[in-house]
């Protein structure tokens, strides 16, 4: 989207309010062995000039360049200390490190240059800022090729970073810059409609509002995502223009996802691994907090090994890496790390567990007798259905919940679904969640009933994909079939432990306004929802059992 687009923009927040120091072109050593070049101008293909900070080893030429691309500001002004619970140890990341980016003091000393731009329309750079757009992907292409031409660069460029710094890699890599040699997208959304701004068609208002405040520092205008969400509640051309062509990605890729980032990066990162065309692609899925895991010593060592192989032609361990590595979770920070050959796992056996309203249980057999139960849709009222496992059982992959549900007095229904693990005493087992929280459950799903239309081409028995193309209002009191996508997870249950399905009309995790978390405050709910089970209304859960 260019600045001539008819879509909505807002005036930027004055950069000084975000600690922006202003343009200050200079070149100076920050240590004996690292040179810092500040506010280097880079002209993009349309003549727009943006500014970048570059860190590189003193006295070394012919070094590969790593780019961290995001709108958060190349001047390090966001500290993980501001996010209690992030578990990034104080002082473990240097003061020169932009938010969610690689640490220059670490990487320059191993023979890499690092380039961090203020992207178009942000901070001191020219133009107007659009996010996740074709324009942004082309801009990143231009900067990749600019870096490759510099006399200090080996002509090989890589991309590295978390969250936005991962999301931006999908679009740039799909443009196929000639000198892009490898990417490490560390937890990055690929479908901003389904995974970021709307969940099952329900607006993700809390997170999007907080995020907008971080990306709005500009001397001109920035894309107004809140306005866009109001103007484009369906998956129309506005959102489709922000979908990267994942199949066009061919460069080597080390993709890292987590089971802990439901409501943001988990789904899209795993979808990318399935869809990109790279011959050399590796997937690692962990159960930890994403920032902590990115900066831990072993993760940095693996990042370097991967980039050394593809940017420095080092013959190293990467050639023997498993295609897929997953952590099967038992409890908080407890689990088994295991190598696999593919994702989803080929030996998955998808089983149905039927919801029984009379016993609030899950059964392997269809329920003969029709029964109903209702819950208040506007508070934390909920229905829960449990099954206790007789033997050790691993659930790894996609799940789906089919419900027959009626809104008693309304023409729509927002449905929130969760999977919980209960220990042998019936106590909830918590997991890390959303980078900073400790109260996560096994998996989450969402669906606005009026968005229930399925994409018949893309949907599978275990992963429904909704078109979000047309609204299908409910008739009050009349049950309809809803297929709720539950995001992928990996959880192990010992004999005597239980799986619980939660169904309710509000967020299962609720955090106070102002915290960075998913939150859906524009609800279509009113009154009660009634769940139908048994007889002609077989409501069931599909689970991914690993044989």
pLDDT average, residue stretch 438-448: 98
- At how many degrees (to 10) do helices 164-174 and 134-149 cross? 80
The listed CATH number (2.60.40.1220, 1.10.3720.10, 3.30.360.10, 2.60.120.260) that belongs to domain 348-546: 2.60.120.260
CATH homologous superfamily of 9-321: Alpha/Beta hydrolase fold, catalytic domain (3.40.50.1820)
pLDDT at 6: 47
pLDDT at 545: 98
pLDDT at 84: 84
Mean pLDDT of the chain: 96
pLDDT at 311: 98
Give the tens place of pLDDT for each residue, 248-280: 999 999 999 999 999 999 999 999 999 999 999
% of the chain with per-residue pLDDT over 70: 99
Query: What are the C-alpha distances in Å from 236 to residues 3, 228, 231, 513?
Result: 20, 11, 10, 29
Over 90: is that where the pLDDT of 246 sits? Answer: yes
Q: Which of 150, 146, 167 is nearest to 62 (CA)?
A: 150
**Is residue 524 classed as helix, strand or coil in its secondary structure?**
coil
Q: Are 1 and 134 in contact (CB under 8 A)?
A: yes
Alpha carbon distance 336, 163 (integer Å): 25
Question: If pLDDT is split at 50, 70 and 90, which confidence band does 40 have?
Answer: very high
pLDDT at 226: 86
Query: Of 90 and 339, which is predicted with more confidence?
Result: 339
pLDDT at 239: 98
Question: If pLDDT is split at 50, 70 and 90, which confidence band does 83 have?
Answer: confident
The domain segmentation of the chain, as residue ranges, is: 9-321, 348-546
Q: Which of 148, 168, 165 is nearest to 157 (CA)?
A: 148
pLDDT average, residue stretch 418-447: 98
Alpha carbon distance 497, 364 (integer Å): 17
Alpha carbon distance 431, 454 (integer Å): 31
Q: Are 364 and 356 in contact (CB under 8 A)?
A: no
Alpha carbon distance 207, 226 (integer Å): 11
User: Pairing state of beta strands 480-493 and 393-407?
Assistant: antiparallel
pLDDT at 7: 62
pLDDT average, residue stretch 334-354: 98
Question: If pLDDT is split at 50, 70 and 90, which confidence band does 5 have?
Answer: very low
Question: If pLDDT is split at 50, 70 and 90, which confidence band does 513 have?
Answer: confident
pLDDT at 501: 98
Give the tens place of pLDDT for each residue, 120-168: 999 999 999 999 999 999 999 999 999 999 999 999 999 999 999 999 9
């Amino acid at each position: 989207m260019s600045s001539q687009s008819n879509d909505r923009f807002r005036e930027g927040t004055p950069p000084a309010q975000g600690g922006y120091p202003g343009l200050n072109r200079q070149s100076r050593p920050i240590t004996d062995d690292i040179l810092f070049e500040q506010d280097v101008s880079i002209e993009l293909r349309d003549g727009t000039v943006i500014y970048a900070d570059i860190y590189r080893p003193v006295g070394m030429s012919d070094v590969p360049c790593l780019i961290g691309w995001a709108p958060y500001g190349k001047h390090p002004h966001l500290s993980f200390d501001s996010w209690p619970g992030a578990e990034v140890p104080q002082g473990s990341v240097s003061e020169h490190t932009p938010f969610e980016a690689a640490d220059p003091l670490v990487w320059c000393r191993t023979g890499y240059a690092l380039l961090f731009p203020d992207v178009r329309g942000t901070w001191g750079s020219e133009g107007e800022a659009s996010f996740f757009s074709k324009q942004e992907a082309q801009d990143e292409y231009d900067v990749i090729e600019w870096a490759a031409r510099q006399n200090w660069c080996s002509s090989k460029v890589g991309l590295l970073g978390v969250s936005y710094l991962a999301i931006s890699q999908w679009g740039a890599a799909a443009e196929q810059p000639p000198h892009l040699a490898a990417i490490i997208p560390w937890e990055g959304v690929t479908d901003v409609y389904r995974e970021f701004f709307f969940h099952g068609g329900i607006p993700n208002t809390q997170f999007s509002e907080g995020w907008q405040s971080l990306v709005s520092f500009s001397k001109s205008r920035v894309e107004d995502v809140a306005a866009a969400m109001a103007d484009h509640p369906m998956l129309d051309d506005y959102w489709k223009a922000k979908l990267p062509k994942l199949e066009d990605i061919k460069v080597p890729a080390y993709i890292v996802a987590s089971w802990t980032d439901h409501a943001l990066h988990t789904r899209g990162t795993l979808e990318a691994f399935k869809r990109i065309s790279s011959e050399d692609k590796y997937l690692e899925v962990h159960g930890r907090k994403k920032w902590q895991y990115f900066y831990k010593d072993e993760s940095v060592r693996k990042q370097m090994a991967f980039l050394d192989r593809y940017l420095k032609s080092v013959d190293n361990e990467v050639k023997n890496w498993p295609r897929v590595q997953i952590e099967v979770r038992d409890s908080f920070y407890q689990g088994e790390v295991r190598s696999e050959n593919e994702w989803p796992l080929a030996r998955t056996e998808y089983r149905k567990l039927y919801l029984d309203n009379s016993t609030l249980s899950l059964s392997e057999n269809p329920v003969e007798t029709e029964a109903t139960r209702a819950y208040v849709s506007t508070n934390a009222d909920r229905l829960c259905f449990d099954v206790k496992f007789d033997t050790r059982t691993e659930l790894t992959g996609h799940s789906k919940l089919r419900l027959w549900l009626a809104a008693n007095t309304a023409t729509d229904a927002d449905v929130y679904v969760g999977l919980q693990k209960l220990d042998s005493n019936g106590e909830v087992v918590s997991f890390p969640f959303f980078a900073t929280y400790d109260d996560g459950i096994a998996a989450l799903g969402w669906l606005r009933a009026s968005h229930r239309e399925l994409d018949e081409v893309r949907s599978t028995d275990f992963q429904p994909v909704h078109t979000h193309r047309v609204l299908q209002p409910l008739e009050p009191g009349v049950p309809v079939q809803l297929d709720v996508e539950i995001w992928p997870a990996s959880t192990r249950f010992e004999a005597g432990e239980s799986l619980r399905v939660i169904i309710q009309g509000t967020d299962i995790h609720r955090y106070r306004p102002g915290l960075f978390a998913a939150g859906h405050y524009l609800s279509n709910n009113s009154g009660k929802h009634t769940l139908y089970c048994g007889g002609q209304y077989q409501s069931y859960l599909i689970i991914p059992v690993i044989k």
